[in-house]
Amino acid sequence: MTTPDTKINPKIVVALDYADAPSALALANQLDPSQCRLKVGKELFTAAGPQLVETLVDKGYGVFLDLKFHDIPNTVAKACEAAARLGVWMLNVHASGGQPMMEAAKEGVAKSGHQPLLIAVTILTSMDQQVMQSLGIPGTLQDQVLRLARLTQAAGLDGVVCSAQEAPVLRSTLGENFCLVTPGIRPRNASLDDQSRVVTPADALRQGSSYLVIGRPITRAADPLQALRDINHEISLI
Ligand SMILES: O=c1ccn([C@@H]2O[C@H](COP(=O)(O)O)[C@@H](O)[C@H]2O)c(=O)[nH]1
């Protein structure tokens, strides 16, 4: 097995799910871009805006702008163009917006003059088979993740957000170069919170994840820096 080189290509993406910029910067200022990348999601972006994203980029962090765009193709294209202009490392849309929407997203990114990774959310890691059924989506959850991931690849995107539980089948079907970004990561004995499809950090990498998105197990730990160090140590042993 290969040893993940966490220094050159950190595998952990810390979800900065904070209510304001000072709280997010308090953690970012203690971390180092060689230890992790950072994710800005809907809560923080709505509160702190593009300026915070640019600040994190200027600090040298790879920033995943997790706004999960899902709208008509023209609107998503323009949103992706604007997001890519912030200099982020990665951004995303919802695969359930369909192939034309994802193709428009890709065109929008191309127009920005930047080259972030563009990925699509398949089925949220908080969802389970029962929730899928309640939405009237037929088949197994894994089948639906695979269907949306194939559509994402056909649209020319770089990868998907999925659970590491689906990583083995996606990796074998979609190839080594398709990026699998996996939230729902929980160290052994950690609280699941609102996540349903969870995997430990080391198991997620063994299953084929490219990047691990981790929020509360780090940000709500008594010592977030130590929690990140522990997880980086765990995955360095693979
Ligand atoms: O399917 C998805 C897509 C995105 N997320 C985001 O990842 C983090 C997970 O945070 P935890 O605190 O580790 O649960 C959060 O920002 C979500 O918005 C996801 O969980 N699942």
- 157 is in which domain, residue-wise? 12-236
Q: What does the block give as tokens for 209?
A: 């994840």
The pLDDT assigned to 137 comes to 94
Ligand 1 centroid–CA 100 distance in Å is: 25
| CB distance 201 to ligand 1 below 6 Å | no
Phi-psi region of 89 (alpha: psi -120 to 50; beta: other; left: phi over 0): alpha
Q: Is residue 4 part of a domain?
A: no
Confidence band (pLDDT; 50, 70, 90) for 8?
low
Ligand 1 centroid–CA 229 distance in Å is: 20
The pLDDT assigned to 229 comes to 97
The pLDDT assigned to 1 comes to 34
Ligand 1 centroid–CA 194 distance in Å is: 9
Distance CA 5, CA 79 (A): 33
Mind listing the pLDDT tens digit for each residue in 131-144?
Answer: 999 999 999 999 99
Mind listing the pLDDT tens digit for each residue in 124-182?
Answer: 999 999 999 999 999 999 999 999 999 999 999 999 999 999 999 999 999 999 999 99
| CB distance 195 to ligand 1 below 6 Å | yes
Q: Is residue 155 part of a domain?
A: yes
Q: Is 153 annotated as a binding residue?
A: no
Distance CA 76, CA 101 (A): 7
**Catalytic site residue 66?**
yes
The pLDDT assigned to 3 comes to 40
Q: Is residue 7 part of a domain?
A: no
Distance CA 207, CA 24 (A): 30
DSSP 142: H
Q: Is residue 5 part of a domain?
A: no
The pLDDT assigned to 4 comes to 41
- The CATH number assigned to the domain holding 69 equals 3.20.20.70
What's the Rg (C-alpha) of the chain? 17
Average pLDDT, the chain: 96
Q: Is residue 6 part of a domain?
A: no
The pLDDT assigned to 2 comes to 38
Q: Is 159 helix (H, G, I), strand (E, B) or coil?
A: strand
Number of domains making up the chain? 1
Distance CA 181, CA 160 (A): 6
pLDDT higher than threshold 70 for residue 92? yes
Q: Is residue 3 part of a domain?
A: no
